[in-house]
Structure 1
Amino acid sequence: MSSETKSSSVFTFKKDQPLSLKWKWGIFLSLAMIMLSFISLLIYRQLTIQMYDEQSKESHQMQFEFLIKGLSDQDQPFQAQQFLDQNEQDSETKVKFLIDHYSNDQTIIRLYSPEQKLLNESQHFQYPIGSSSKELERQNIKGKNYLIGSSRISSRINQELLGIVQYIVLPEAKVAYVQKLNYFLIRCFLITTLISILCGFLIAHYFLRPLTYVINTLDLLEGDTLSQVRVVRPRTNDEWSDLSLHVNKLLDKIELYVKGQKQFVEDVSHELRTPVAIVEGHLKMLNRWGKEDQQVLDESISASLQEITRMKELVQEMLDLSRADHVDVDYKDEVTEITTAASLVHHNFEILYPNFHFYLDNEKSKNVYVNIYHHHFEQILVILLDNAVKYSTDRPEIHISVSQTMNKVEIAVQDFGEGMTAEDKERVFSRFYRVDKARARAKGGNGLGLSIAKQLVEGYHGKIRVESVYQRGSIFYVEFPILTDQHLIYKSERIAKELAKEEK
């Protein structure tokens, strides 16, 4: 492949690659914070303008009142000469001085004579006098908002009417203030946008960091499903730590399944090798010369059929063992009444082995329900009883007991046979392990029964253990949690009644 083709393939891969979750959350959080900042700045702008209007009105109202108070100190009506002669009176009391003092580029002051004749105005403005009021009011003139107040001025000396003063606040001051405010808010918005983008991606990176750990761990496991690498659990006790815990449990279960399948293939291939070799040997012998000898032919066919029967039993047991790995999923709603099922198996073994003495000790006559498929419970009990019969040579006596505590039920199967050594007790539940290897073939079985029982018991959240004394016998204990779900118990009772009706 040429370098151009490689580069084009890489480019295509990057181009078709979907946007990562970090980018999506980073963009989303950034936009969310930008929108929040924009809305906050709009609210701030509106509140600031309202505060400016209120403060401006209060300030100008105060100036208007001071102007009225200053003008009322005169004792003669306002005249046009007062605005021409500046030397007749003290400058602090002169009308023109007051008007010049309170008027500026934001305000216009217009002074009228008692006859409502315009005497002076700081700026030209065309507006009627209107009603007399000392309160500034908002007026809309040609689309612009003005603050306008008009008041009659009476002398505080002789109570004579001096004239009328009009106070006008121009809208240009607010326009200039709003422009400055807008420029300030635009700069703030640009700064908050940059901060929002930075914070958005930092927050997305921080909160999605555990997801990165999960992805990296799964990438490492792609090449080796039996790897011991696990997701690092975050220090924070939140949903990410729960996810890491569940992912690690899932990885442990997958590893267990993979090991089980690998062990299954290895065990089957190992155990089938001997019977296949035996059948192959007999067939080759018959093919060479044995088919002419009737006795050899009969022996070879009998031996081959026996080995084929063993292979069928082995395959069935291996399938049972494989299915036992996930009974907690396939049979999670199944319920069994323990005392009835144990009595049924006890009765069957009494018929099957008349030379043995089977004793059932049930401490509680009350029904005890366990979350287990009834065929699986019977299979566990059959395996334990069959194992007890197989290894009981001198004393054909087997005891079965069912005992109950507050929240658990325990089934014990005791024999008085060969017993086990300490090494045998540690390995008795292993696949294909036989306690007495020399006589294992004669006794029958493939060494899978106790492995199947252990897998089934643990699949239903129970426990199984063994106590044994060499040459004295063994006791196998099986323990299950008692079911308290009344719905499932009712379901089990209804099914039991239906089966009883069918049997009748």
Structure 2
Amino acid sequence: MKQIIEWLKRLPVIWKLMISVTLLFLILFATYNFAQYMVLKYWMLNQEQDTLHVMMSQVQDYLEDLPVKGESLQSAETNAYLKNILADNQMIRLLDKDGREQMLATNEFNPLWIKPLPSTIDSLEDVRYGEDHILIYRAPVVINKETGTIEIATNLETFDHFNTTLLWVMVIGFLLAVCMSAISGWAIARQFLRPVKMLALTIQNVKQNGLQERVEHIENGDELSQLAGLFNELMDQLEVSFRQQKQFVDDASHELRTPITILEGHLHLLDRWGKNDPIILEESLQAALQEARRLKGLIQGLLSLSQAESSVIAHSMEPIEIELFMTQQLQRMENVYPQFTFRMNIESKGRRVRIHPLHLEQLLFIFIENAVKYSGGHHEIDIHCYEEKSTLYLSIQDYGIGIPASEIPHVFDRFYRVDRARSREIEGTGLGLAIAQNLIQHYDGEIALTSVEDEGTCVVLSFPTMPL
């Protein structure tokens, strides 16, 4: 039994499904056929028994009336009557109280098959004589005040032949049903597993050919079709993620190579001529310090971006009362950038958002720092906070150099800086907006950016608000 179980476990899924379907149909059809056969068999047997009961009643009534009619048991009329009610393969026999035969009428039935047996009660007996199946009905009768026994026997040859034929028909039907269930089980299993095979083939192709492979569209509309769709969506996300990762590595390598090359150049310069030349020494040290600060900023930006892209926020979210928080941040910004004028208008007084204070502070710092960097000669920055339809909007408007329309779709890409020639003198890593976008997505927020060259840029942050 264990070997059979182990063999079944090693079978392909399509064979397991086919065997399961076949066994299910086999059990259901066998149960139905057996029940149907038994019901028909006993119903037909009861019909034969009822026929014998009717015949017995007729014979009893006729024989008990003989003395009144003046007829004898051996009269032609009596023999004609008994012959008339006999069917094929039947016998009627009258016995006295000692079991001696008094009268006999047969129709293709051998009376030697049945031993005469007197009876004082009604009895029904099912016996076999060789290959013959015989049903015997015995009942007492009183004729001329003499007690006797009437025996009526019928050969159930037709009944048995019908049962045998019915059994063979059911067996053949059962075998045909098993074959059909096996074929249908195979077809159903094959159709059911077709999406799974396509999925497995696609995964194998992904291993060999790369992430561009996809499962062909399946229009079944069932769960397997949904699974194929989800797999394709997952592969799309993975392909985008790997492409972004490759781009990130390329950009990070490029950005890190520049300060490292500059540092290496100045160190070689110091090693050759700067040891005894104060001017070269001072110039190289300042350049090295500047590039070290740039490296530090890049590394911090990469760490912040990695944390922002993590699917798990390390800090717990807290409800923030936006008016108090923005007032505190405005004071800090005025201290950090005293040459700038910050105009703040808060309409959503008393409203709260669920976000960690450090993350909201980081978002504000990124956009206000960009507004300061690219303000040009305009030192005014407007901050507006308002609410619409359970959403809190926080806009930051500057009046600086702005962003060209063709550049706006790319400003959230990593290491992307608008017109590198124009921003060469402006410090930055090109990671701030990418960090902000990844960070705000964890709080179900959005960023909208509009800009006009030489007129300024407006950034709008939106967050779902909390009920008061």
Residue in structure 2 matched with residue 192 of structure 1 by the alignment: 177
Residue in structure 2 matched with residue 10 of structure 1 by the alignment: none
Question: Per the alignment, in what secondary structure is the counterpart of residue 428 of structure 2?
Answer: coil
Once residues 99 and 49 of structure 2 are traced to their aligned partners in structure 1, the CA distance between those partners, rounded to angstroms, is 26
1:403 to 378, 386, 394: 386
Question: Per the alignment, in what secondary structure is the counterpart of residue 98 of structure 1?
Answer: helix
Asked if 1:36 corresponds to 2:28, the answer is yes
Residues 19 and 162 of structure 1: is their aligned pair in 2 closer, same or farther, counting only changes over 3 Å?
A: closer
1:126 to 105, 115, 122: 115
Residue in structure 1 matched with residue 230 of structure 2 by the alignment: 246
Residue in structure 1 matched with residue 3 of structure 2 by the alignment: none
Residues 332 and 293 of structure 1: is their aligned pair in 2 closer, same or farther, counting only changes over 3 Å?
A: closer
**Contact 1:345–1:382, Cα closer than 8 Å, also in 2:** no
**Contact 2:353–2:463, Cα closer than 8 Å, also in 1:** no
Asked if 1:365 corresponds to 2:349, the answer is yes
Quote the offset at 1:396 in angstroms.
1.9
1:424 to 396, 407, 414: 407
Task: Tell me the TM-score normalized by structure 1.
Answer: 0.77
Once residues 192 and 130 of structure 1 are traced to their aligned partners in structure 2, the CA distance between those partners, rounded to angstroms, is 50
Asked if 1:21 corresponds to 2:5, the answer is no
Q: Write the letter of the residue equivalent to 1:432.
A: F
Asked if 1:279 corresponds to 2:271, the answer is no
Percent identical among aligned pairs is 29
Residue in structure 2 matched with residue 337 of structure 1 by the alignment: 320
**Contact 1:108–1:169, Cα closer than 8 Å, also in 2:** yes
Question: Per the alignment, in what secondary structure is the counterpart of residue 195 of structure 1?
Answer: helix
Q: Write the letter of the residue equivalent to 1:226.
A: L
Task: Tell me the TM-score normalized by structure 2.
Answer: 0.83
Q: Write the letter of the residue equivalent to 1:444.
A: E
Once residues 113 and 100 of structure 1 are traced to their aligned partners in structure 2, the CA distance between those partners, rounded to angstroms, is 23
Extract unaligned runs of 5+ from structure 1.
1-14, 83-87, 490-504
Quote the offset at 1:475 in angstroms.
0.6
Once residues 449 and 76 of structure 1 are traced to their aligned partners in structure 2, the CA distance between those partners, rounded to angstroms, is 129
Asked if 1:45 corresponds to 2:37, the answer is yes
Residue in structure 1 matched with residue 206 of structure 2 by the alignment: 221
Residues 164 and 219 of structure 1: is their aligned pair in 2 closer, same or farther, counting only changes over 3 Å?
A: same
**Contact 1:132–1:152, Cα closer than 8 Å, also in 2:** no
Quote the offset at 1:54 in angstroms.
3.0
Once residues 223 and 344 of structure 1 are traced to their aligned partners in structure 2, the CA distance between those partners, rounded to angstroms, is 56
Residues 24 and 360 of structure 1: is their aligned pair in 2 closer, same or farther, counting only changes over 3 Å?
A: farther
Residue in structure 2 matched with residue 354 of structure 1 by the alignment: 338
Q: Deviations over 1:45-67 (max 9, x none)?
A: 22222322333333444444455
**Contact 1:392–1:418, Cα closer than 8 Å, also in 2:** yes
Asked if 1:167 corresponds to 2:159, the answer is no
Once residues 285 and 10 of structure 2 are traced to their aligned partners in structure 1, the CA distance between those partners, rounded to angstroms, is 65
Q: Write the letter of the residue equivalent to 1:464.
A: I
Question: Per the alignment, in what secondary structure is the counterpart of residue 420 of structure 2?
Answer: coil
Once residues 28 and 483 of structure 1 are traced to their aligned partners in structure 2, the CA distance between those partners, rounded to angstroms, is 54
Which shows bigger deviation, 63-72 or 445-454?
63-72
Residues 401 and 54 of structure 1: is their aligned pair in 2 closer, same or farther, counting only changes over 3 Å?
A: farther
Residues 482 and 343 of structure 1: is their aligned pair in 2 closer, same or farther, counting only changes over 3 Å?
A: same
Residues 326 and 175 of structure 1: is their aligned pair in 2 closer, same or farther, counting only changes over 3 Å?
A: farther
Once residues 390 and 244 of structure 1 are traced to their aligned partners in structure 2, the CA distance between those partners, rounded to angstroms, is 48
Residues 173 and 396 of structure 1: is their aligned pair in 2 closer, same or farther, counting only changes over 3 Å?
A: same
Residues 77 and 152 of structure 1: is their aligned pair in 2 closer, same or farther, counting only changes over 3 Å?
A: farther
Once residues 356 and 34 of structure 2 are traced to their aligned partners in structure 1, the CA distance between those partners, rounded to angstroms, is 67
**Contact 1:138–1:145, Cα closer than 8 Å, also in 2:** no
Extract unaligned runs of 5+ from structure 2.
1-6
